[in-house]
Amino acid sequence: KTTLLKTILGLLSPRQGDVIYQGRSLLSLSPDKRARLGIGYVPQGREIIPRLTVKENLLIGLAADPNHKGNLSTQTVPEEIFELFPVLKTMLARMGGDLSGGQQQQLAIARALMGNPKLLVLDEPTEGIQPSIILDIESAVRRIIETRGVSVLLVEQHLHFVRQADFYYAMQKGGIVASGSTRELSNDVIQRFLAV
């Protein structure tokens, strides 16, 4: 699953086939050009920059916004980010590495949103996160979809979060083994492909 995401992002090259986004092949484009086309990425493990402040981590996300011009250091963080993740507003001066795992995950998602993506790719956003923060992240992702019109590609094993999606694809050994509407997600599919 992570290999698929890295291929979409241009971090890996496919052995065969193509990656089509908005009717255009992405194979010849570098990861930064893909980001500027509107693909935001939140990697598994968050990968925030621990020695930068929360604000600096957020402002780095602006580099992916094709409409952004100017010096990053003079920019401000839009209030919309704090409406989604209020905890970040009180922590702008803190170092990213000083945040809890859940706060770092919220920061990583917010950083991706700073690039104004049309597609937000989330790689296991609830991994290692306490249950109350998982609910906050689920709620924020739902609001992102509803208010910003962003499509979300989610790799997730937390079943409650999976059920928030419109469609699911279960993968095994690099191939899709089941797919469909999450409304029709059967217990059989859950037991065979999603249960641990």
Identify the CATH number of the domain in which residue 104 sits.
3.40.50.300
Token pair in block for residue 94? 């803190």
Overall number of domains in the chain: 1
Domain membership flag for residue 160? yes
CB contact set of 183 (below 8 Å; sequence gap of 6+): none
What is the predicted pLDDT for the residue at 72? 67
Q: Is 20 domain-assigned?
A: yes
Please report the pLDDT score of residue 73 as a whole number.
66
pLDDT at 176: 87
In a domain, residue 183? The reply is no
Q: Where are the beta strands (DSSP E) in 47-166?
A: 119-123, 151-155
Q: What is the pLDDT along the chain (196 residues), one digit of tens a residue?
A: 888 899 999 999 998 899 999 999 999 999 999 999 999 999 988 789 999 999 999 999 988 887 877 776 667 888 999 999 999 999 999 999 999 999 999 999 999 999 999 999 999 898 888 888 888 888 999 899 989 889 999 888 777 777 778 888 888 887 888 888 888 877 787 777 765 4
- Domain-located, residue 174: no
Among candidates 14, 32, 33, 15, which has minimal Cα distance to 24?
33
- The model carries a pTM of 0.88
Whether residue 189 lies inside any domain: the answer is no
SS3 call for 74: helix
The 3-class secondary structure across 19-41, one letter per residue, is CEECCEECCCCCHHHHHHCCEEE
The answer as to whether 156 is a domain residue is yes
Q: How confident is the model at residue 191, as a pLDDT?
A: 76
Q: What pLDDT does 22 receive?
A: 94
What range defines the domain where residue 79 resides?
Answer: 2-165
Residue 75 belongs to some domain of the structure: yes
Give the pLDDT confidence score for residue 195 in this predicted structure. 59
Buried b (16+ CB within 10 A) or exposed e, 56-93: bbbbbbbebbeebeeeeeeeebeeebeebbebbeebee
Residue 173 lies inside a defined structural domain of this protein: no
**101 contacts 132 by C-beta, under 8 angstroms:** no
Distance between CA 170 and CA 163 in Å, rounded?
A: 13
Largest Cα–Cα distance of the chain, in whole Å? 53
